[in-house]
Structures are given as structure tokens and as C-alpha cells.
Amino acid sequence: MRKVLIANRGEIAVRVIRACRELGLRTVAVYSEADRSSLHVAMADEAVLVGPAPARQSYLSIPNLMRAVSESGADAVHPGYGFLAENRDFAQVCELWGVKFIGPRPEAIGRMGGKAVARQTAQAAGVPVVPGTDPVAGAQAVAAAQELGYPLMVKASAGGGGRGIRVVEGPHELEAALERASSEAQAAFGSSELYLERLIVHPRHVEIQVIADEHGHVVTLGERESSLQRRRQKVLEEAPAVGVTPALRQEMSDAAARVARAVDYVSAGTVEFLLDAEGRFYFIEMNTRIQVEHACTELVTGVDIVKEQIRVAQGEPLSFGQEDVQLRGWAIECRINAENPARDFAPSPGVITEYRPPGGPGIRVDAGVAAGSVIPPFYDSMVAKLLSWGRDRPEAIARMRRALDEFRIEGIHTTIPLHQRILEDPRFLAGQVHTSLLEASMMPGPTRVT
Ligand code: ADP
Ligand code: ADP
Ligand code: MG
């Protein structure tokens, strides 16, 4: 492997470029017409235009990306997260072209890509799943819902990023929910397949980072808590998770490793679970890619997950074993989005007129922007990730508060004020978090019920 094309933009493209540089690999950025002046384009060794602003015609266009691969002579592709990162066809096309896809094999993506199928795989591996159904439709869905009981969730098999999910409180809401979820999923993900899951009340979202090589080594890197969510999208994450005992961590890690082994998983991946008030955990999905919040785990384990992902893609064995993994201290990540919290989180595209990131002890900023950056309205609103590390949770929190106060971004609105509010909340400080906490009690406006 000599030259890596990064089929993505923004923060994760910058993150991958940094890993490649440390490994002595050349980098190729791709960009749409809206991203000509982006940071990832400036930082890469080369850059190739892949189409107009709409993602379908650029970052999601497999033909355009493969043209960029051959034009640049890249011999590997890193898909980042979002866009084509969990697209089996993209991984397959790369393989056919003799270009290394830095991720799992197409078969593994296929077996985990549809969430309904992934549930079956997890169950067969002896891992508890949320009580639910196989794919359902029409009258069959009504009968299945009756049997499962309410409240329940209608979920799109192909869903992601918190979309394609609907809560159904009772039978009277079912039909409308099925209809809306299927048309929404068809439009957003190109598949209308749905399944039902029992609604777990006030669960925590706890996930296990996995990394595996081609030599049969599967290593887990502990858990992350991603319970602070808005519209089922993560807002703030931490590692480890409050109150997760070594015994529970071991149990969840073993379950995650079983899921990974069941699909002969290679590369970095995350097995997501819901944890209920009684301490029972249930598999919900596996993300077959690097995740946004991977850096929390990097801070508490010292492992560079992206570099390891690239090494593994080159056929090398993992540079460490399970016995080398030790969790040290506490890490928190705040997702800084170009959104206006005072206006119901409306997107806030525009030009960053002033940019002064925080620094000092225990602070890491992974950003896709700099002073003068233009935030286009076409893509995900996340512009930077602010991470803090401390010897314990209170120190990580104190550093995060200090860093949020230092962070100056002018010209656009950001979610910094929301994070400042979270970091003052007594329930957050006490570690009493669950997936509805943020929306139910920390947001301005009327109380929302999930
Ligand atoms: P993570 O699990 O890494 O926290 P998110 O759910 O926040 O990831 O998603 C990261 C990015 O990927 C977001 O831009 C999100 O919109 C996008 N994304 C995730 N899953 C899908 C999917 N199935 N289809 C399209 N975009 C997705
Ligand atoms: P996505 O692919 O969009 O990330 P997930 O299946 O991971 O979808 O679910 C996203 C979030 O939705 C979870 O973190 C959780 O907050 C909520 N959720 C999903 N399934 C359930 C469930 N059965 N009960 C309660 N909440 C759920
Ligand atoms: Mg998820």
C-alpha cells in the first residue's frame, strides 16, 4: 500500500490523512464543487474533484470515486463514516478493481448492513437482542406487533444516523408509523424493509469497540457511552461508561467479540447495545466502520484505531493483543455541529470568520475546519470533535468545560452552548444518563417524550 484515497470529507478525512502521514503513506482527497477550499483538500498530498455539491453526484457516486482512484493511482480506499462506508457494493467494486478497501470484507458488511439480518446473526451467536421481529410488512406487521406488545419501535433495516425509526405507543398509531417509516426509508436508504423492536424504556446506549485482523485475532477496546442523544443522534460520548463493572464490561466485550467472529470480521467495528435499568444488555446493531466517537477509546487505551485499521488492511497482524489493552482515565467527546441550538438546531452554514480552538492539558480537537472555512449546506453539520481526557471523570469534565469556554468559532452558530449546558446538569454530573435525558430535560421548549 502506497497511496490511500479517502472517499469522504470534513473531520474524518482529516483524521485519516493524519494516520496515513504517520504511516508514510501518500494521500488523495476527493471533493465536491462545494468543498474546493476545504481543509481536507488542503491537507492531502493530492486532490481530485468528484462532482457537483449534492452527495449523490459526488461523495456517493461510486463511478466518480473509482475514476478518481484510477486517475490518482491510489491502491487503497478509506471510506471514513457515513456516505459509502457501509455500502457492500462499494467495498466489492474496490475488491474487483484490485484496490484495498480499508474496512471489513463485503460479505461482512452484507451480513451486518441490514439491521434485521444482523439481529439474527447476533442471536445465532448467543448474544441477547431486543425482543423483536424479522422483516415485516402490512397485515403481518399488525399481527406481529400485537404479539410483541406496546410500546414498540418501527425500525428501517437499512437505517442509520438515527433516521428511519418511529415510536409506536399503541395499535392506533401502528399503520401510520409503518407507512411513514417505509416511505422515509425508501427515500433515504433505497430500501423500505422494516422490523419491529420492543421499546426499551430509558435505556443507556453502551457500545463496544472491536478490532480484528486477517489472522484470526479479535480484540475489544472497552466500551463507550453514547446515551446523550438528540433525535437518536449522538451528541456527547464518553469512555468508559459510568457504573459499568469489570464483570459487565467483560460480558459485553465477549458478546461483541462473538458477533465479530460470527461474520469473520476484519478491521475496526462497533457493536452497539442498549443497557436497561436492571443491567441487562441487548444488541441493537453493528457499525462496520470507524465511528465518529472512536477517539474517546483512543484516549483511554492509547491505541490509534485508524492507524491500526490501515495496518490490518495491509494484512499485518494487530500490533497488540487483548492482554495489552488497559483502560486508563476518562475521556469525553463533544460533537460541535454547525447548528443553532436557539432555533431548534437549524443548520447554520456559512463562513467561519474567526476560529480559535482550545488546547492545553488533556485536550484534543479533531476538526474539519479552520479560520475562513466555508460550511456548505449540503452535508452533515458536524464541523469538529472536542475531546478531553482526565485521570477520572471529574477531571475530564473540568477540562471539557474549560475547553468549551476557550473554543471560539465566529460567523456560524454551533452546539457549544448545548454542551456547556450538559456539563452543568446535575444528572449528567452524577452519571445518571439515559437516551431520553437530553431531550426530556435539557432542551429549551416543551418537554418531548421519546
Ligand atoms: P456513529 O455511529 O459513528 O456515532 P452516526 O450515527 O453519528 O455515527 O453517523 C455518522 C455519520 O454517518 C453521520 O453523518 C450519519 O448521518 C451518517 N450515517 C450513518 N449511518 C448511515 C446510513 N446508513 N446511511 C447514510 N448515512 C449514515
Ligand atoms: P442507527 O442505525 O440510526 O444508529 P440504532 O438501532 O443504533 O439506529 O438506534 C439508534 C438509537 O435509537 C439508539 O441509540 C437508542 O437511543 C434508540 N433505540 C433504538 N432501538 C431502541 C429500542 N428498541 N428501544 C429504545 N430505544 C431504542
Ligand atoms: Mg446506531
pLDDT tens, 128-173? 999 999 999 888 999 999 999 999 999 999 999 998 999 999 999 9
Residue 444 pLDDT? 66
Per-residue cell: 173: 398509531
- Whether residue 240 is preceded by a cis peptide bond, meaning omega within 30 degrees of 0, is yes
Q: Quote the pLDDT of residue 353.
A: 98
Secondary-structure breakdown of the chain: helix, strand, coil percentages, each rounded to the nearest 5: 35, 25, 35
Q: Which pLDDT does position 443 carry in this prediction?
A: 83
User: Which CATH architecture does the domain made up of 204-447 adopt?
Assistant: 2-Layer Sandwich (3.30)
Tell me, what's the pLDDT at 145? 97
Bridging pattern class, strands 382-390 and 363-367: antiparallel
Nearest CA to ligand 2 atom 11: 232
What is residue 445's predicted lDDT score, i.e. its pLDDT?
A: 58
Ligand 1, CB cutoff 6 Å, lining residues: 81-82, 86, 160-161, 189, 233-234, 287, 291-293, 380
Which residue has the CA at smallest separation from atom 16 of ligand 1? 161
pLDDT of residue 139: 87
Å from CA of 81 to ligand 1 middle? 6
Closest approach atom of ligand 1 to CA 290: 3
Q: Over the stretch 77-107, which tens digit does the pLDDT of each residue have?
A: 999 999 999 999 999 999 999 999 999 999 9
CA of 131 to the centre of ligand 2 (A): 13
Q: Are 6 and 44 in contact (CB under 8 A)?
A: yes
Residues acting as catalytic residues? 289
Judged by its nearest atom, the ligand closest to the C-alpha of residue 86 is 1
* CA nearest neighbour of 74 among 3, 162, 172: 3
Ligand 3 mean position, distance from CA 291 (Å):
10
Kindly state the helix (H) or strand (E) to which residue 311 belongs, with its residue range: helix 305-313
Query: How remote is the CA of residue 160 from the centroid of ligand 2, in Å?
Result: 9
Ligand minimally distant from the alpha carbon of residue 293: 1
**Which residues make up the environment of ion ligand 3, defined by Cβ < 5 Å?**
272
pLDDT of amino acid 450: 41
Q: Output the residue whose Cα is nearest ligand 1's atom 9.
A: 161
Cα-to-centroid distance, 275 and ligand 3 (Å): 14
Per-domain residue ranges of the chain? 3-102, 131-198, 204-447
pTM of the model: 0.97
Cell of 190: 433505497
- Residue list, ligand 2 pocket, CB within 6 Å: 130, 153, 159-162, 165, 197-200, 203, 205, 229, 232, 272, 274, 284-285, 435
**Alpha carbons 361 and 373: distance in angstroms, whole number:** 26
Residues of the chain with pLDDT under 50: 446-450
Q: Which ligand is nearest to the CA of 166?
A: 2
Place of cell 443522534: 233
Task: Determine contact, residues 36/373, Cβ cutoff 8 Å.
Answer: no
For ligand 2, atom 17: residue with the closest CA: 232
Please state, as a whole number, how many other Cβ atoms lie within 10 Å of the Cβ of residue 125.
16
Amino acid present at 123: Q
Class of domain 3-102: alpha beta
pLDDT at 449: 43
Nearest CA to ligand 1 atom 10: 82
Name the superfamily (CATH) of residues 131-198: ATP-grasp fold, A domain (3.30.1490.20)
Number of other CB atoms surrounding residue 363 within 10 Å: 18
Atom of ligand 2 at shortest range from CA of 164: 3
Name the closest-CA residue to atom 6, ligand 1.
161
Which of left, alpha, beta for 110 (phi over 0: left; psi -120 to 50: alpha)?
alpha
Q: Which ligand is nearest to the CA of 156?
A: 2
Ligand 1 pocket: which of 56, 59, 81 to mutate (most atoms within 8 A of CB): 81
pLDDT score of 234: 98
Distance 284 CA to ligand 2 centre (A): 7
Residue 136: DSSP 8-state: B
